Structure 1
Amino acid sequence: MAFFLAGGVSAQNKGEAVSNAKINSIVSKMTLEEKIEMLHGNALFSSAGVPRLGIPELTCDDGPLGVREEIKRFDWASANWTTDSATFLPNGSAIAATWNPVMANKYGIVIGEEANARKKDIMLAPAFNICRMPLCGRTYEYYSEDPYLNSQLAIQAVKGIQSQHVAACIKHFAANNQELNRNSVNTIVDERALREIYFPAFKAAVQQGNAYTVMSAYNKLNGYWCSENDFLLNKVLKDEWGFKGVVMSDWAGTHHTVAAANNGLDIEMGSSGAYDRWYFAKPLLAAVKAGQVSVKTIDDKVSRILWLIYHTSMSSNHPKGLIATPEHAKTAYNIAAESIVLIKNDKHLLPLKASAVKRIAVIGDNAVRTFALGGYGAGVKAKYEVTALEGIKSRFGKIASISFAQGYKANYLANNSDEQNRGYDQRDQKLIDEAVALAKTSEVAILCIGSNREYESEAHDRKSLELPFGEQALVNAVTAVNPNTIIVIMAGAPYDLNEIKKSNHAIVWSWFNGSEAGNALADVLTGAVNPSGRLPFTFPVSLKDSPAAALNTYPGEGATAEYKEGILVGYRWYDTKKIQPEFPFGYGLSYTDFSISHFSADKLNYGRNETIRAKFTIKNTGSRYGAEVVQLYVSDPVSSVLRPEKELKAFEKVFLQPGETKTVELDVKVGDLAFYDESKKSWKIEAGEFVLQLGNSSRNILKTVKIAVK
């Protein structure tokens, strides 16, 4: 699958390339003290330049959801600007649910343009750690459970951001897969799992996306803090992958001076206390003078920072930037519209026939809640955010009577203690009774439930998969009096939908979907948009089915979490172990139907350096324009090592008019069929039979073809 989209500014581009000689010349004019000043923060979101040489400071901004509001230079309080309202973009798992790298690229371009308008050099995005644990508080921010899907999206998000001469900061490197104990946990991960599951998206973002910055994770990996992990930062990232840019710590994620300096960290950010006392300030200067860190090491760090500056703030033809424009709103809408997943529609309640519906009950706190802000972590001071109720009123208001009932109270704050949040999961019977009364008198009830940005939050993991706030009791009560109840779930991670799946006919998954969320949702409900989102991770029937829980490796014993499942993460686990999921990876429905035929490979036998060219024909056999996400998995039935039942190796989102037919080719390099051989420290392809499996989820394989590798 090839995408030729707005690219990152490559180091090789004429006019953008900065010669080593030029950088070396600048470094040679700097004092050791000036060099050290560049290696640590000088404010909350910046690090120093060298004014006498015309080198500006580096400015950063939080940003997976959009450029955050301006805060004061030295504390987290708002700077109270009136010009920093931005576009709120759909969350990471929503972008992943589009299964469309074009959307990831457009997301990146908006982030980059808005960063420029605010004079930010580095956007701390995208975040795409693997969704190993469904309870992880940052699942909403991350992409998916699959390294290939993550890779394709990360490449394009990075290219989009950097097309605007703004650095993408890919994070968090590596194995930051839980928020509980994230500042202390030692993740024990075998090298094969690192290479096959946790590294690929970072490698792709560096080598194909040309990412300019990498953020080290908070946790330890195999005994060493990620911010001073020689294997991660020097051996793999810089030496093996050829990363030219800058490694910065997560905020307050640096622990030592000499180990961090020698093992690959370039900029220390977010530490506490006086700036000149940070690990990379006076202590680093002393370490250099004592011979514990070489001047050559310092010069390498400074050279990387200068390389970054010459590709961002000091680049030629630097764009001025734009913020919160109608075009950016349209991009937010397009991503949201492509991300919404139709999970169930067995009585064809959807799309709603506007002419037939006169009374609509909209129920649930999430119908009127906004998601740009909340919880612990970066948010966006959105210029505006269309709620579900506002979107539904804008699409149905002229033809139907629309009434609202709150249904439940979302009594949970991320910064509260467990004691302060006690009772958050209890029903509010008075609100349920009001919702039931309204649902009884309405032809259709649209029930907006799920989570919010307080409940799914950085620095916290959820305690269970249960729907919060007594929502299940609300669903049961409303469904009992109105069979035409459409469940809309706004959340960024899997939840237990077992009861809802059994008792409700229509389920729509709508994420934390940005400034235009309400309009995109309403257009899916009316059928103006045919839903084409697909789940980017597996929904387990029960938490105990998920690998980390099944093997009792979460949250870990003491300060250690051993990833005993190895490569069997996500659908690889469920499919290999024959565990039935609630909803499988890649799953989603449409308002139209598709047929797939004529699946073939261009040859029967392949050499190790060849490319498999798989072809198929797809037809829209229904009556509506729509898109199918066709997924190509590969399995290796006979192997000397454990291989997953199947692994995603290619996909394509195909848009078709009713009756339209298209022939699609998906290419897979034979080299990508390899596994990582830990004994040889290298990738290995074993000769023999492989099976190409074509489907529209990991559990719905429609066609297979056998090939052989010589």
Structure 2
Amino acid sequence: MKNKIIKLSFFSMLLFMEYSANSQTINNMNLLNTSQPVKSLSSKYDAKIDQLVAQMTLEEKIGMLHGNSMFATGGVKRLGIPELKMADGPLGVREEISRDNWSAAGWTNDFATYYPASGALAATWDAKMAYTFGNSVGQELRARDKDMLLSPAINIVRTPLGGRTYEYMSEDPFLNKKIAVPLIVGLQNNDVMACVKHFAANNQETNRDIYDVQMDERTLREIYLPAFEAAVKEAKSYAVMGAYNKLRGDYLCENDYMLNTILRDEWGFKGVVVSDWAAVHSTVKSLKNGLDIEMGTPKPFNEFFLADKLIAAVKAGEISETEIDKHVKRILGVLFQVKAMGGEDRVKGSIATEAHYQDTYKIASEAVVLLKNEGNALPLKLNRIKSIAVIGNNATKKNALGGFGAGVKTKREITPLEGLKNRLPSSIKINYAEGYLERYEVKNKGNMGDITMNGPVTIDQLDPSKLEEAIEAAKNSDMAIVFAGSNRDYETEASDRRNLKLPFGQEELIDKVRAVNPNTIVVIIAGAPFDIDAISKKNKALVWSWFNGSEGGNALADVLLGKTNPSGKLPWTMPKNIMDSPAHATNSFPGGKTVNYAEGILVGYRWFDTKKIEPLYPFGYGLSYTTFAFDNAKTDKKEYATDETISVSVTVKNAGKVDGKEVVQLYASKSDSKITRAAQELKGFEKVLVKAGKWETVTIKVPVAELAYYNAEAKKWTVEPGNYKLKLGSSSRDIKKEVIVTIK
């Protein structure tokens, strides 16, 4: 079959597999150019909104500005205004919660699909998967009759120890925005609202209620805001959630600069700003500085800052009713937009369907990262194997629920052990041993939700009987697979981890299993980096999986057995030592009441590459069961004006014997810059399927504007003229081709 040239750009065949019946070329720089509509907030409802507001009492208006239950705001029944109903959703739609406390409501029909965590989604490096995720979750949200999903969380991974690293996407603002935008569009196409969080500079759990972030303006603009800006400008997110912490002295739910100057005045945001739960600290200031809805934890809802206190403030003349009307109109605007006001056909949705489980399978399959494969130990050669020792608590651990924060009540969560049982032929015997116990020091386990503490203290001594069982299983099997890593009780909202060490004595277990069976491979299941340097050196094969959804075990088994060729890439840098990471090297994590982002723009791989520090595994890294070669890299021109777009093409050849997907990553650098810059920055990527022995030509479009830096003195983005090196590779440390362009 003749090789065909596929021109790919920004959204990596976003709709090619999802909606197109033919194999037409897709070259979509911007989602606005695809057939999938980006639904902006419409002004067609303004007259109706004005009429409604004119009929409302002050008490009815203010009732819409705060929670009247754990996950809903007040409505006005006599005027046909419903509650605005919300649900948590980083892993799928959360089970129903009681109206006035955190206990489960006890419904029997609130089971949902468990989706891969956002770190896994980012590891796909695939915008199509992000759209699939958003569209699928959006259908489930509608089936539960909700209006707003409290997701996605798109904060930068500043420290490997962050308790929500699994829930956030990446250390890189470009990757974050390219995954966030299609996710939001897919979600909102189902007549629901995305609530993008946590705006902004919310990058640790330690002291999250009180710490004050200090950073320079360029760092804020280049690192911590791009994904939020794209969510607002490109995806047209209907809602944004304010963060717990402060920025430059003001809480982020009452931060005039962030909520009014940047979000609304500069970016043109028309939607609603929702507080994180119990993140509000004032009445008049919060409202005037941009907050629309106050949500919180259990106390009488009328005691919220935007409840009785606000009524009193209006009556005392501290704030005008006209100001109240402005916020009510915003809420009515998004309710009309998602057809919650009645009168228009609204998406009905579906939940926990086989189609949705298969969505999770697709995402999970593309998220698994192959870190090491010495001697082609993987995929498993079943003709040489009659028995496999499956060892480790993580082989059977379920992660849909757990920890402090939002999980999913699901009827299906395939564990790694179940996945292997589902996929292996019956002739192969599985010898399972738990190996290690998940144990915590009792005095510390209760602190998991204490945000002034770091994470739980684990008991790292192996249980002798469990260890003996594991050794016997390994001795009596042709090979062993140790499932190690973490879980959602250990990695959790409301606390950051204490260190990078694998908990529960797992490293010792792996060593002792390998000592009796050298034919051992290791699978790490976790959402954030760990110190696996020694494990990587000593073991032939190392695989990284995630909190990977309802079908995670099946997807992982298919990778191990070779049905799926792994194509995941790390969305963050895995350091050899925690002190190599920028927030730790600069002694600026966790800080105290003030956290100074001393590393500036050098976050993640930018720090490692600029400071020439060798990571354990670099940003963008991931192996395949085949090998790829890059050739014939070129641009459409040599010189560009600042308003033009650079078209970079490269040929990708699959030099192996199995089909595979490669992620072509484009990094830009300017060595003679007159300003401080990172050694290189991600500015484009595309995932492409290449058949064995064939080639594909990938074209990546880079707007020259993407090369700009934020000029804090001039308060604008500036493209520095001169030569730029565009590097094409399969990771940030595996650059295969380079081209130079000149910006006039």
TM-score, normalised to structure 1's length?
A: 0.97
1:527 matched to 2:557? no
The equivalent residue for 1:475 is 510
Q: Are the counterparts in 1 of residues 627 and 655 from structure 2 also a CA contact under 8 Å?
A: yes
- From 340, 362, 366, the counterpart of 1:338: 366
Q: Are the counterparts in 1 of residues 138 and 192 from structure 2 also a CA contact under 8 Å?
A: yes
Instruction: Give matches, 1:507-522, under 5 Å.
Output: 507-522=542-557
1:314 matched to 2:341? yes
The one-letter amino acid paired with 1:555 is P
1:107 matched to 2:133? yes
1:433 matched to 2:479? no
Q: Are the counterparts in 1 of residues 570 and 621 from structure 2 also a CA contact under 8 Å?
A: yes
- From 391, 403, 426, the counterpart of 1:398: 426
Instruction: Give matches, 1:621-636, under 5 Å.
Output: 621-636=655-670
1:63-83 C-alpha deviation (Å, 9 max, x unpaired): 100111112111111221111
The equivalent residue for 1:251 is 277
What is the CA–CA distance in structure 2 between the aligned matches of 1:708 and 1:382, rounded to whole Å?
A: 54
What is the CA–CA distance in structure 2 between the aligned matches of 1:8 and 1:371, rounded to whole Å?
A: 34
Q: Are the counterparts in 2 of residues 11 and 17 from structure 1 also a CA contact under 8 Å?
A: no
Instruction: Assess, with a 3 A threshold, how the Cα gap between structure 1 residues 441 and 633 changes in structure 2: closer, same or farther.
Output: same
1:137-195 C-alpha deviation (Å, 9 max, x unpaired): 00000100000000011001101110110101100000110001111111112111110
1:116 matched to 2:151? no
Once the two structures are TM-superposed, the CA of residue 294 in structure 1 deviates from its matched residue by 2.7
Instruction: Give matches, 1:643-658, under 5 Å.
Output: 643-658=677-692
Once the two structures are TM-superposed, the CA of residue 619 in structure 1 deviates from its matched residue by 1.3
Once the two structures are TM-superposed, the CA of residue 355 in structure 1 deviates from its matched residue by 2.0
What is the CA–CA distance in structure 1 between the aligned matches of 2:308 and 2:265, rounded to whole Å?
A: 28
The equivalent residue for 1:582 is 616
1:378 matched to 2:412? no
Q: Are the counterparts in 2 of residues 688 and 708 from structure 1 also a CA contact under 8 Å?
A: yes
> The residue matched to 2:609 in structure 1 has which SS?
helix
What is the CA–CA distance in structure 1 between the aligned matches of 2:314 and 2:37, rounded to whole Å?
A: 35
What is the CA–CA distance in structure 2 between the aligned matches of 1:423 and 1:503, rounded to whole Å?
A: 24
What is the CA–CA distance in structure 1 between the aligned matches of 2:458 and 2:670, rounded to whole Å?
A: 49
Once the two structures are TM-superposed, the CA of residue 437 in structure 1 deviates from its matched residue by 1.6
The equivalent residue for 2:50 is 24
- From 100, 111, 122, the counterpart of 1:96: 122
What is the CA–CA distance in structure 2 between the aligned matches of 1:617 and 1:547, rounded to whole Å?
A: 35
Q: Are the counterparts in 2 of residues 271 and 278 from structure 1 also a CA contact under 8 Å?
A: no
What is the CA–CA distance in structure 2 between the aligned matches of 1:21 and 1:590, rounded to whole Å?
A: 57
The equivalent residue for 2:32 is none
What is the CA–CA distance in structure 1 between the aligned matches of 2:161 and 2:346, rounded to whole Å?
A: 41
Instruction: Give matches, 1:567-606, under 5 Å.
Output: 567-606=601-640
- From 371, 380, 387, the counterpart of 1:359: 387
What is the CA–CA distance in structure 2 between the aligned matches of 1:149 and 1:124, rounded to whole Å?
A: 21
Percent of aligned pairs with the same residue?
53
Q: Are the counterparts in 2 of residues 618 and 661 from structure 1 also a CA contact under 8 Å?
A: yes
The one-letter amino acid paired with 2:137 is I
1:416 matched to 2:446? yes
1:205-246 C-alpha deviation (Å, 9 max, x unpaired): 111111011000101011110000001100101111111100
Instruction: Give matches, 1:168-183, under 5 Å.
Output: 168-183=194-209
Q: Are the counterparts in 2 of residues 386 and 516 from structure 1 also a CA contact under 8 Å?
A: yes
Once the two structures are TM-superposed, the CA of residue 291 in structure 1 deviates from its matched residue by 2.9
Greater displacement, 84-93 / 267-276: 267-276
1:335-354 C-alpha deviation (Å, 9 max, x unpaired): 00000000000121100012
> The residue matched to 1:696 in structure 2 has which SS?
strand
1:146 matched to 2:172? yes
1:602-630 C-alpha deviation (Å, 9 max, x unpaired): 11111111111111111111111110011
Instruction: Assess, with a 3 A threshold, how the Cα gap between structure 1 residues 663 and 517 changes in structure 2: closer, same or farther.
Output: same
Once the two structures are TM-superposed, the CA of residue 302 in structure 1 deviates from its matched residue by 0.8
Q: Are the counterparts in 2 of residues 376 and 415 from structure 1 also a CA contact under 8 Å?
A: no
> The residue matched to 2:406 in structure 1 has which SS?
coil
Once the two structures are TM-superposed, the CA of residue 271 in structure 1 deviates from its matched residue by 4.6
Instruction: Give matches, 1:668-679, under 5 Å.
Output: 668-679=702-713
What is the CA–CA distance in structure 2 between the aligned matches of 1:422 and 1:26, rounded to whole Å?
A: 55
1:456-483 C-alpha deviation (Å, 9 max, x unpaired): 0000100000000000100111111211
The one-letter amino acid paired with 1:150 is N
Once the two structures are TM-superposed, the CA of residue 289 in structure 1 deviates from its matched residue by 2.7
> The residue matched to 1:58 in structure 2 has which SS?
coil
Q: Unaligned stretches of 5+ in structure 2?
A: 1-8, 16-34
Q: Are the counterparts in 2 of residues 432 and 474 from structure 1 also a CA contact under 8 Å?
A: yes
Q: Are the counterparts in 1 of residues 68 and 74 from structure 2 also a CA contact under 8 Å?
A: yes
The one-letter amino acid paired with 1:216 is G
The one-letter amino acid paired with 1:664 is V
The equivalent residue for 1:610 is 644
The equivalent residue for 2:102 is 76
1:561 matched to 2:561? no
- From 40, 55, 59, the counterpart of 1:11: 40
The one-letter amino acid paired with 2:341 is M
Instruction: Give matches, 1:485-504, under 5 Å.
Output: 485-504=520-539
Q: Are the counterparts in 2 of residues 7 and 162 from structure 1 also a CA contact under 8 Å?
A: no
Q: Are the counterparts in 2 of residues 254 and 271 from structure 1 also a CA contact under 8 Å?
A: no
Q: Are the counterparts in 2 of residues 18 and 310 from structure 1 also a CA contact under 8 Å?
A: no
Instruction: Assess, with a 3 A threshold, how the Cα gap between structure 1 residues 253 and 678 changes in structure 2: closer, same or farther.
Output: same
> The residue matched to 1:591 in structure 2 has which SS?
coil
Instruction: Assess, with a 3 A threshold, how the Cα gap between structure 1 residues 423 and 29 changes in structure 2: closer, same or farther.
Output: closer
What is the CA–CA distance in structure 2 between the aligned matches of 1:482 and 1:8, rounded to whole Å?
A: 55
Greater displacement, 532-541 / 420-429: 420-429
What is the CA–CA distance in structure 1 between the aligned matches of 2:412 and 2:177, rounded to whole Å?
A: 31
- From 664, 673, 682, the counterpart of 2:716: 682
> The residue matched to 2:665 in structure 1 has which SS?
strand
Instruction: Assess, with a 3 A threshold, how the Cα gap between structure 1 residues 394 and 290 changes in structure 2: closer, same or farther.
Output: same
The equivalent residue for 2:23 is none
Instruction: Assess, with a 3 A threshold, how the Cα gap between structure 1 residues 628 and 293 changes in structure 2: closer, same or farther.
Output: same
Once the two structures are TM-superposed, the CA of residue 387 in structure 1 deviates from its matched residue by 0.7
Once the two structures are TM-superposed, the CA of residue 415 in structure 1 deviates from its matched residue by 5.2
Once the two structures are TM-superposed, the CA of residue 8 in structure 1 deviates from its matched residue by 6.1
1:235 matched to 2:261? yes
1:268 matched to 2:294? yes
> The residue matched to 2:121 in structure 1 has which SS?
helix
CA RMSD of aligned residues (A): 1.5
Once the two structures are TM-superposed, the CA of residue 484 in structure 1 deviates from its matched residue by 1.3
Q: Are the counterparts in 1 of residues 38 and 235 from structure 2 also a CA contact under 8 Å?
A: no
What is the CA–CA distance in structure 2 between the aligned matches of 1:423 and 1:75, rounded to whole Å?
A: 30
The equivalent residue for 1:63 is 89
What is the CA–CA distance in structure 2 between the aligned matches of 1:381 and 1:683, rounded to whole Å?
A: 45
1:205 matched to 2:205? no
Once the two structures are TM-superposed, the CA of residue 429 in structure 1 deviates from its matched residue by 3.0
Q: Are the counterparts in 1 of residues 196 and 240 from structure 2 also a CA contact under 8 Å?
A: yes
The equivalent residue for 2:305 is 279
- From 627, 647, 666, the counterpart of 2:700: 666
Q: Unaligned stretches of 5+ in structure 1?
A: none
Greater displacement, 304-313 / 565-574: 304-313
Q: Are the counterparts in 1 of residues 70 and 297 from structure 2 also a CA contact under 8 Å?
A: no
> The residue matched to 2:731 in structure 1 has which SS?
coil
The one-letter amino acid paired with 1:61 is A
Q: Are the counterparts in 1 of residues 165 and 527 from structure 2 also a CA contact under 8 Å?
A: yes
Q: Are the counterparts in 2 of residues 87 and 324 from structure 1 also a CA contact under 8 Å?
A: yes
1:451 matched to 2:486? yes
1:441-500 C-alpha deviation (Å, 9 max, x unpaired): 211101000000100000010000000000010011111121111100110000001101
The one-letter amino acid paired with 1:416 is G
1:461 matched to 2:496? yes
TM-score, normalised to structure 2's length?
A: 0.93
